[in-house]
Amino acid sequence: MDIRLNGVSKSFGDQLAIDHVGFTINSGDICCLLGPSGSGKTTLIRLMIGALAADKGSIQIGETIMPNMSMLHNIGFMPQNDGLYDDLSAEANLEFFGSIYKLGKTTLQQRITEVLTLVDLTADRKKLVRNFSGGMKKRLSLAIAILHQPDVLFLDEPTVGIDPILRRQIWDQFQAIRASGTTIVVSTHVMDEVLECDRAALIYNGRLIAYDTVPHLLDQTENGRVEELFLIAGREGGTDHA
């Protein structure tokens, strides 16, 4: 499913958080929302999911205009702070979220086995989450987000606070999920992670300052450093890529 944003703006009181942002994420792509902390990445994700309504403009996932309750069946979401029940086991967390999607007992157990294998937590399925390491929590959080096989997956800063080896493993898992046809939107402030994506949207002060394929974006730099993109695009000002 593709995602289309048309001139989206959102304010909180006097604060303009998202300023006339427009671009299209192609179906099956990994799109990176790249920008420094506080640039508006999380707000943009919350708008795309439908957790917030835009003040101006529109957001469409496939043919559905967001926010839309029934579209939540097709959306997977991994929040920044994991969103796990510490007093439950990994399996019980998955069973609970799976039951909300009404997966059916057999399908749910099958999917739990599949996602735990994917995130390499099969041996830890009975352990209470409060005994998990930070990395294990991230992987379980990802497993919950993909449990119901969503068409679109939103990952809010999934690798923040994660060591480089685990980060590599997590990105491998994203690539595996993408291979099944899922569109992935991932926010990050780690510049190098843009290299893992098909396209990147550069967000700065709530504005879209560049959106293109990663090779095209890197072609615009002198030294091939992602940070330069912010400097270059910042000089050019925000653009609408819808």
Partner 1 sequence: MRNLAKRVIFQTLNDKRSVALILIAPLLILTLVYFLLGDSDYVPVVVLDENAQTQLVEAFEAETLDVRLDTVDNPFGYLEDNKDVDAIFEATQEGTTITLREPSTKSSKAVREIQAALSALNPAADIEMNYVYGEEGQSTFDSFGYVFLSLFSFFFVFILSAMALVKERSGGTLERLLMTPIKRGQVILGYTLGYGVFAVVQSVFIVLYTIYVLGLTSLGNIGWVFLVMILMAGTAVLFGATISVFARSELQVVQMIPFTIIPQVFFSGLIPLDLIPYGLGNLSYIMPIFYGATAIKEVMVYGSGFSGIWVYVLGLIVYAGILYLLNMRALGKYRGH
Residue entry with tokens 């009181």: 13
The answer to the question of residue 101 lying near partner 1 (CB under 8 A) is yes
Burial class (CB in 10 A: 0-12, 13-18, 19+), 147: buried
CA nearest 182: which of 142, 211, 222, 209? 142
The answer to the question of residue 88 lying near partner 1 (CB under 8 A) is yes
**DSSP conformational letter for 54:** -
What are φ and ψ of residue 212, in 5° steps? -165, 180
The answer to the question of residue 12 lying near partner 1 (CB under 8 A) is no
Residue 102 CB, nearest distance to partner 1 (Å)? Answer: 9
Q: Single out the residue of 11, 26, 99, 122 in contact with partner 1 (rule: CB under 8 A).
A: 99
The answer to the question of residue 77 lying near partner 1 (CB under 8 A) is yes
The answer to the question of residue 70 lying near partner 1 (CB under 8 A) is yes
Residue number, 96 or 117, with CB nearest to partner 1: 96
**DSSP conformational letter for 26:** P
Question: What distance in Å separates the CA atoms of residue 55 and residue 28, rounded to the nearest whole number?
Answer: 28
The answer to the question of residue 126 lying near partner 1 (CB under 8 A) is no
**Exposure on the CB side of residue 72, measured as CA atoms within 13 A:** 12
Residue 55 CB, nearest distance to partner 1 (Å)? Answer: 11
The interaxial angle of helices 164-179 and 134-146, nearest 10 deg, is 10
Q: Single out the residue of 12, 36, 58, 96 in contact with partner 1 (rule: CB under 8 A).
A: 96
Residue number, 182 or 194, with CB nearest to partner 1: 182
The answer to the question of residue 227 lying near partner 1 (CB under 8 A) is no
Residue number, 65 or 231, with CB nearest to partner 1: 65
Q: Single out the residue of 17, 32, 90, 144 in contact with partner 1 (rule: CB under 8 A).
A: 144
Strand stretches in 2-139, DSSP E: 3-12, 15-25, 30-34, 56-61, 64-66, 75-78
Residue number, 87 or 163, with CB nearest to partner 1: 87
The answer to the question of residue 8 lying near partner 1 (CB under 8 A) is no
Question: What distance in Å separates the CA atoms of residue 201 and residue 8, rounded to the nearest whole number?
Answer: 14
What are φ and ψ of residue 138, in 5° steps? -60, -45
Sites for partner 1 among residues 27-66 (CB under 8 A)? 46-47, 49-54, 66
Q: Which stretch binds partner 1 (CB under 8 A): 95-103, 105-113, 187-195, 232-240?
A: 95-103
Where residue 179 falls (left for φ over 0; alpha for ψ -120 to 50; beta otherwise) is alpha
The answer to the question of residue 176 lying near partner 1 (CB under 8 A) is no
Q: Name the residues that contact partner 1, by CB under 8 A.
A: 46-47, 49-54, 66-70, 72-73, 75, 77, 79-88, 92, 96-97, 99-101, 128, 144
